[in-house]
Amino acid sequence: MGPELTVPPIFSPIPPAIHPRHAAIDAQTAAWAEAFSIGNPELRARLVRHDIGTFSAMILPDGQEEVVSILADFVLWLFGVDDGYCEESDLGHRPGDLTAVLHRLLRVAQNPDTALLATDPLATGLRDLRARISRHGTHGQAARWIDALREYFFSVTWEADHRRAGTVPDLNDYTLMRLYDGATTVVLPLLEIAHGYELQPHERDHPATRAAAEMASFIITWDNDILSHHKESRSRGYWLNVLRVLEHHHQLSPDEALTTAVAQRDRVMCLYMRLHQHLTAHASPQLHRYLASITHFIRGAQDWGISSHRYTTPEDPADLPTTFSDVPTDSSDQPLDIPVITWWWSLVPETVGRGYLETSGTREA
Q: Which residues bind ligand 3E9 (CB under 6 A)?
A: 75, 78-79, 82, 182-184, 186-187, 220-221, 224, 228, 301, 310
Whichever of 183 and 245 has its CB closer to ligand 3E9, that residue is 183
Q: Which partner in Mg ion, ligand 3E9, none is near 209 (CB below 5 to 8 A by kind)?
A: none
**Strand, coil or helix: what is 177?**
helix
Residue number with CB closer to Mg ion (174 or 347): 174
Residue 12 or 228: the one with the smaller Cβ distance to ligand 3E9 is 228
Cα separation, 144 vs 142, in Å, equals: 5
**DSSP per residue over 27-90, as a string?**
HHHHHHHHHTT-S-HHHHHHHTTS-HHHHHHHH-TTS-HHHHHHHHHHHHHHHHHIIIIIISSG
CB atoms within 10 A of CB 236: 6
Find the shortest distance in angstroms from Cβ 86 to Mg ion.
6
**Member of 228, 295, 312, 362 binding Mg ion (CB under 5 A):** 228
Please state at what angle helix 285-307 crosses helix 52-59, rounded to 10 degrees: 150
Residues 6+ apart with CB under 8 A from 14: 295, 296, 298, 299, 302, 365
Q: In whole angstroms, what is the distance from residue 130 CA to residue 103 CA?
A: 16
Q: How far is the CB of 1 from ligand 3E9 (least distance, A)?
A: 20
Handedness of CA 202, 206, 210, 213 (dihedral sign): negative
- Residue closer to Mg ion by CB (options 51, 347) is 51
The listed partner (Mg ion, ligand 3E9, none) that binds 185, CB under 5 to 8 Å by sort, is none
Q: What angle do CA 323, 243, 86 make, to 5 degrees?
A: 100
Smallest separation (angstroms) from ligand 3E9 to the CB of 263: 20
CA atoms of 124 and 175, how far apart (whole Å): 32
DSSP state of 9: P
Q: Is 224 in the site for Mg ion (CB under 5 A)?
A: yes
Judged by CB, which is closer to ligand 3E9: 18, or 283? 18
CB of 178 to ligand 3E9, least distance (A): 8
The SS3 of residue 309 is helix
Under the binding rule (CB under 5 A), the answer on residue 29 touching Mg ion is no
| 51 contact, one of ligand 3E9, Mg ion, none, CB 5-8 Å limit per kind | Mg ion
The verdict on 266 binding Mg ion (CB under 5 A) reads no
Q: Nearest-CA neighbor of 220 among 3, 19, 53, 59?
A: 59
Handedness of CA 309, 90, 153, 232 (dihedral sign): positive
Q: Is residue 82 involved in binding Mg ion (CB under 5 A)?
A: yes
Stretch that binds Mg ion, among 99-107, 218-226, 300-308, 331-339 (CB under 5 A): 218-226
- From ligand 3E9, Mg ion, none, interface partner of 29 (C-beta below 5 to 8 A by class): none
Q: Which of 257, 237, 296, 353 is nearest to 57 (CA)?
A: 296
Binds 187: which of ligand 3E9, Mg ion, none (CB < 5-8 Å by kind): ligand 3E9
Q: What does the alpha-carbon distance between residue 21 and residue 25 come to, in Å, rounded to a whole number? A: 6
Compare residues 72 and 347 and give the one whose CB is closer to ligand 3E9. 72
Residue number closest to Mg ion, CB atom: 228
Residue number with CB closer to ligand 3E9 (121 or 182): 182
**The binder of Mg ion chosen from 29, 39, 44, 51 (CB under 5 A):** 51
Work out how close the CB of 248 gets to ligand 3E9 at its nearest, in angstroms, rounded to a whole number: 17
Q: Does 302 bind Mg ion (CB under 5 A)?
A: no
Q: Applying CB under 5 A, which residues contact Mg ion?
A: 51, 82, 87, 224, 228, 292
